[in-house]
């Protein structure tokens, strides 16, 4: 709730519902995710998120505001998770079929970590991001997450859910899930489909208000095509720069 660039963004109304509710609706359609958990903070302003999650029948686990890495591990351990699908509340266009396909890729390849987009946050992982920013699915095991937590006390690293894993290709087996095959039409790495600023929110509202009323289960591919084919929509947030973890870390460490 305390996002610096857009406070209260996770409950911003889109198509008549809080953004977090739209996200949870979409994740719930995954065939292979068997437990949804909102891992929010113990800060009182996040009581609203717990109330919303419980209204939707979703479990809640609360932890540190600053130590996101530890908070995610705490949630995974609290619910005895073997594997974690990590999603963020500002990416409401997550696709349930994509989640299932990333999970299958992760398991078939014997990876420690798989993502669709997060490789661009690290200078150490030489992999190409092919999906739009915001079409983000990450998968890793609780065991690997626990190992990563034990190896760092850097506050910048611990401020992110998985950077401690994917910044170390020498230590963990990393997999980049690419927009190929049936996802070739989703290959728009220049598109920004996340919500960090008012302009991002304006774009997301247009996407949902166009597609959601006639089909609440619209695919992320439909949303990508809608934006990709509209110069007006693309221009709404084209100027917004994505904050990158490796830059944040470099700044913090001088």
Query: Which of 162, 184, 13 is CA-nearest to residue 88?
Result: 162
pLDDT at 242: 78
Mean pLDDT computed over every residue of the chain = 95
**Residue range 124-153, pLDDT digits in tens:** 999 999 999 999 999 999 999 999 999 999
Helix or strand (DSSP H, E) at 175: strand 174-176
The beta-carbon contacts of 223-228 under 8 Å, at least 24 apart in sequence, are 223/93, 223/193, 224/132, 224/135, 224/185, 224/186, 224/188, 224/191, 224/193, 225/185, 227/191, 227/193, 227/203, 228/188, 228/191
- Spans of all domains in the chain: 9-252
CATH of domain 9-252: 3.90.550.10
Q: What is the CA radius of gyration of the chain?
A: 17
Whether the pLDDT of residue 166 is over 70: the answer is yes
pLDDT at 120: 86
Whether the pLDDT of residue 245 is over 90: the answer is no
Average pLDDT over residues 166-181: 97
pLDDT at 3: 85
Whether the pLDDT of residue 227 is over 70: the answer is yes
Average pLDDT over residues 218-240: 97
Whether the pLDDT of residue 46 is over 70: the answer is yes
* Structure token digits, residue 94: 């997550």
* Structure token digits, residue 248: 């944040």
pLDDT at 246: 60
Whether the pLDDT of residue 12 is over 90: the answer is yes
* Structure token digits, residue 212: 């959601």
pLDDT at 84: 98
């Amino acid at each position: 709730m305390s996002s610096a660039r857009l406070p209260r963004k996770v409950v911003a109304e889109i198509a008549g519902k809080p953004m977090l509710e739209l996200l949870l609706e979409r994740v719930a359609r995954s065939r292979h995710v068997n437990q949804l958990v909102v891992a929010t903070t113990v800060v009182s302003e996040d009581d609203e998120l717990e109330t919303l999650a419980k209204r939707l029948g979703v479990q809640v686990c609360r932890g540190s505001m600053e130590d996101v890495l530890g908070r995610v591990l705490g949630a995974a351990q609290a619910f005895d998770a073997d594997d974690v699908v990590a999603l963020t509340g500002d990416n409401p266009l997550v696709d349930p079929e994509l989640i299932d396909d990333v999970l299958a890729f992760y398991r078939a390849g014997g990876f420690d970590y798989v993502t669709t987009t997060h490789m661009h946050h690290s200078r150490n992982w030489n992999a190409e991001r092919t999906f739009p920013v915001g079409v983000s699915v990450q998968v890793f095991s609780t065991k690997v997450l626990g190992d990563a937590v034990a190896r760092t006390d850097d506050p910048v690293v611990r401020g992110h859910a998985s950077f401690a894993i994917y910044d170390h290709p020498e230590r963990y087996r990393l997999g980049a899930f690419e927009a190929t095959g049936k996802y070739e039409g989703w290959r728009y790495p220049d598109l920004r489909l996340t919500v960090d600023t008012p302009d991002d929110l304006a774009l997301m509202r247009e996407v949902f208000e166009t597609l959601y009323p006639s089909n609440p289960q619209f695919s992320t591919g439909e949303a990508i095509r809608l934006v990709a084919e509209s110069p007006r929509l693309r221009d709404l947030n084209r100027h917004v720069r994505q904050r990158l973890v490796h830059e944040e870390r470099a700044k913090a460490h001088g």
